[in-house]
Amino acid sequence: MIDYSSPSLVSVEEMNTFIGGAFGGNQNACEVMSFAMAVAVMYPSAASLRPGKIISGPTVFSICDAALFYAALSATGMEPMTLTSEMSIRFLRPARGEVLRARATLNSIGSRSIVGSVVAYTDDESKPVAVAQGTYMRPKKNPAQ
């Protein structure tokens, strides 16, 4: 059973510093982290809006992926080669708002894979714009270690 009350193995500051250095031009940030949970935040630019000021589907998908990555590293520590294996998303309503957030919670933490669920929302967390589920693969451990 996952103890969500434990502290994150990576701080918000460490995560944002890493993301800023590894992914130049990144448009989202980690806002909150605890063990096996993270919230990503993005302030969508005009380039990510569809007609009607709806935040594009790829933008919503990307913040869900980022939130799950942050949650995965909150539980494993800094494993930068942790990679998305699969992710599916269901769009529930048009994403309209000034701020886009995604809250990821891990469902399973294994030695090779991490599974989690994500809820994306704009102004009102009780009205999600999308739900996603994904799997991250952890890097293989060096047998010499």
Name the nearest CA neighbour of 60 among 126, 125, 116, 129. 129
Q: String of b and e for 44-66 (b: at least 16 CB within 10 Å)?
A: beeebeeeeebbeeebbbbbbbb
Res 80: pLDDT: 86
> For residue 83, what are the domain limits?
12-137
The count of domains in the chain is 1
CATH label of the domain that carries residue 114:
3.10.129.10
Does 115 fall in a domain?
A: yes
Does 118 fall in a domain?
A: yes
Res 53: pLDDT: 94
Does 69 fall in a domain?
A: yes
pLDDT in tens, 98-140: 999 999 999 999 999 999 999 999 999 999 999 999 999 998 8
pLDDT in tens, 3-53: 888 899 999 999 999 998 887 777 899 999 999 999 999 999 999 999 999
Q: What is the pTM of this model?
A: 0.92
Which of the four pLDDT bands, split at 50, 70 and 90, describes residue 141?
confident
Name the nearest CA neighbour of 41 among 55, 25, 26, 30. 30
Q: Which residue has the higher pLDDT, 143 or 127?
A: 127
